[in-house]
A and B are shown apart, each in its own frame.
Chain A
Amino acid sequence: MDVSPADLLAGVTATAAPLLLASLGETVTEKAGVINLSLDGTILLGAMTGFAVAATSGSLAAGFLAAAAAGTAVAAVLSLIGTWLGQSQVAVGFTLTLLCRDLAYFLGTPHARQPGPQLLASPVPLLSDLPLLGPALFNQSLPVYLSFAAIPATWYFIYRTRPGLILRAVGENPAACWARGIRPRLVQTAATLAGGALVGLAGAGYSLALKPGWGRPQGCEGIGWIALALVIFGGWHPVRVALGAYLFGFLQISTILLQDLFPSLPTQVFQVAPFPIMIFTLILIHAGRNARGRKQRLLLRLFRGRPPAALGRTYRQA
């Protein structure tokens, strides 16, 4: 199969879009010091909800909204038990991952393998005809445009606005924030809910655009774990996290191309290969960064990052 570089790039930006939304959502959540480990299940629940609502109501917008609502609802449970009742966020998040996955399969049975609406590409006139970058940037569906906008928007919000400053402060030192009249738990809850909404949207990005339809498997299983890994190894920086998402998109696309080069290897191997490759790429970069006698090469500098100091710790109000 011959693929032009333009098509390749277009494939990468489209594949990475939902992953980007989810990992940027998680970045916002973790900046406030909360780990939402439920991503993998939440994305599936969002995908199922989005597809089911869009198919029954006939409205794609309703589908996306419902998916965001589902993601927010899961995040609310995490907030309640984790942030407010002080249980381990990892324990709650992991339980929610499995619960949401099974809930999605259970509730989605009537919609499995049913026809439904699908969001088509909405090309930007003129710009989409640009060579090389045209199809990648300007001939995509709305979630992809949203994912483009989300990168600078998240960065701007976190690093250039006052609420973003408060968000980071709470993630670093909730007790000091409390002393300054900020209510850390409220900020953490808001960040968790907002992040959850983006994760839910990511789910709809799969079931209504990238991999239209609902079924078991839907095709987005495992993505949530990649998103979580991206945030941590991307150093909690939206731009680096986005780079990671594009790297994963590139991996997924290139395995499709590599299939032709290695016809002896079974197709199924190519479907699972990007996941371990991605995680170990991130781990290697991370390990290289921690190695003693390090040299600050450009690549390593790019991926340097430090977790919010209070990440995963429950803030217990006096």
Chain B
Amino acid sequence: MKAQQSIENQSPGSRLPLLLIPALALTLVCLLLLVLGLSPLTIGRALASGSVGNWLKFSHVLSVWSPLLLCSCGLLFTFRAGLWNIGIEGQVILGAICCTAVLRLPGGLLPPPAVLTLALLAGGAGGGLWGILAGELRNRGGVNEIFGGLGLNFVGQGLVIWLIFGPWKRAGIASMSGTDLLPPHFWLQSPPGWRVAPVALALAVLTLAASILLLDRTRFGLRLRAAGTSPGAARLFGIEPDRISLQAMFLAGLLAGLAGGLQVTAVYHRLIPAISSGYGYLALLVVMLANYRPLAVPLIALFFACLVTGSIQLPISLQIDSSLAGVIQGACVLSALLVYGLRKEKS
């Protein structure tokens, strides 16, 4: 289970057009809908109007896009280092917990913007710590990062639930709806008519730019690739693969934790049991569909965010379960894996 070869699909052996990927995914999903007696056109229109129908809806898409992009950027580092960071889900959760913890401190000492900044930083640190834990389990314990990460995901989920139903429960009665709302001065505010906090958006865009630079224009990026593709050769050049992978895990956890902090401060304004919204796992799909290339990540994340947002209204408007979004996303990634596989096979 060690990453024995580069994770990326690099050799475009045959000239099978990549356009085949969306075509195949679309065909599969349409077939499924037709078999169920549903009209793909109606559903497609509903998905589109629910995501890009007007600015309010599109700004909602952007509020999904920001944390998703942060997680995806983090995963670019771990994938580049040859690691399968499934623990990203728990890293988002820990970020949300640490961020909430800072915001719940008895206040008054610092002005709210400073507390908010500290809280987001704490979120990043919490996520980073969770990433390092999975990395150390792998380096020292010989535990594959997939299983260490999964275990930590379960721990994170347990922690959130314990906090919400235990120490941080709402005044009166604890419930699945989460903790009490934060006071509004701890919210990352959205302008009127917007559903996304500009701060969150800016953070995501800056992170993307920084990640692309780091990955493709610095020595660090090169070291990551070396540690990921051939750890043995990397060692000969004085690169410590274990240390590099730990750094990658920390970076991924940091960005995921930041995403968790945004979920608390910009989206839900409280801690809820499903605070991660599954964005960690979704980001894994985003990066896979982007074929691990940084430049394609923002577009695919945007497409996935549109699906997530567009499907919210489906149960009400068309009596269709919103898990359709996940089906479409999965079909896209599976098609991509199939097409890349065919290209490899023909080469």
> In the complex the two chains form, what is the Cα distance from A38 to B137 in whole Å?
23
Q: Are A265 and B158 in contact (CB under 8 A)?
A: no
Query: Please, how many residues of chain A have a CB less than 8 angstroms from a CB on the other chain?
Result: 52
B1 pairs with A312, CB closer than 8 A: yes
| Contact, CB under 8 Å: B330 / A279 | no
Residue B30, interface by CB 8 Å: no
Chain B residues in 8 Å Cβ range of A228: 147
Q: Are B285 and A269 in contact (CB under 8 A)?
A: no
> Nearest chain A CB to B142's CB is how many angstroms away?
5
Interface residues of chain A: helix, strand, loop or mixed (majority): helix
- How many whole Å from A98's CB to the nearest CB in chain B? 5
Contacting residues of chain B (317-335) with chain A, CB-CB under 8 angstroms: 320-321, 323-327, 329-331, 333-334
Residues of chain B with a CB closer than 8 A to A37's CB: 146
Known A265-B166, A283-B141, A287-B141; contact A94-B284, beta-carbon cutoff 8 A = yes
- Encoded as 1 (CB less than 8 Å from any A CB) or 0, chain B from 141 to 154 comes to 11110111011101
Which single member of A35, A90, A98, A268 contacts B281 (CB below 8 Å)?
Answer: A98
Residues of the B chain whose Cβ atoms lie less than 8 Å from the Cβ of A279: 147, 150-151, 154
Interface membership of B194, Cβ < 8 A: no
Interface string of B125-168 (1 = CB under 8 A from A): 00000000000010011111011101110110110011001100
B176, closest chain A residue (CB): A268
Question: A268-B165, A279-B150 in contact; A81/B341 too (CB < 8 A)?
Answer: yes
- Binary contact readout B65-91 vs A (1 if CB under 8 angstroms, 0 otherwise): 000000000000000000010100000
Asked if A103 contacts B327 (CB within 8 A), the reply is yes
Interface size class of B (residues with CB under 8 A): 35 or more
Q: Collect the chain A residues with CB atoms within 8 Å of residue B334's CB.
A: 77, 81, 92, 95-96, 99
Q: Does B98 contact A (CB under 8 A)?
A: no
Which residue, A88, A267, A313, has most C-beta atoms of chain B within 10 A?
A88
Interface of chain A residues 80 through 95 with chain B (CB within 8 A) = 80-81, 84-88, 90-92, 94-95
- Cβ of B342 within 8 Å of any chain A Cβ, yes or no, is yes
Q: How far is the CA of A277 from the CA of B9 in the complex (A)?
A: 37
Please determine whether B84 and A99 come into contact, CB atoms closer than 8 angstroms.
Answer: no
- A313 CA to B142 CA in the complex, in Å? 19
> B345–A266 contact, CB under 8 A?
no
Establish whether residues B330 and A95, one from each chain, have CB atoms under 8 Å apart when the complex forms.
yes
B4 engages A313 (CB within 8 Å): yes
The reply on A31 being an interface residue by CB < 8 A is no
Residues A106 and B324 in contact in the complex (CB < 8 Å), given A287-B142, A312-B1: yes
Is B52 positioned at the interface, with any CB of A under 8 Å from its CB?
no
A positions within 8 Å CB-CB of B: 35, 37, 77, 80-81, 84-88, 90-92, 94-96, 98-103, 105-107, 109, 222, 225, 228-229, 232-233, 265-269, 272-273, 275-276, 279-280, 282-283, 286-287, 290, 307, 311-313
Sample of 4 further A-B pairs with CB below 8 A, known A37-B146, A290-B142: A81-B338, A92-B334, A99-B326, A101-B326
A-B contact pairs, 23 of them (CB 8 A): A77-B334, A91-B337, A92-B337, A94-B86, A98-B281, A99-B327, A100-B330, A102-B323, A102-B326, A105-B323, A105-B326, A106-B321, A222-B154, A229-B151, A266-B161, A266-B162, A266-B174, A268-B273, A269-B162, A272-B154, A279-B151, A283-B151, A287-B140
State the 8 A-B residue pairs at the shortest beta-carbon distance, nearest first. Answer: A99-B330, A85-B341, A102-B326, A266-B165, A279-B151, A105-B323, A275-B154, A276-B154
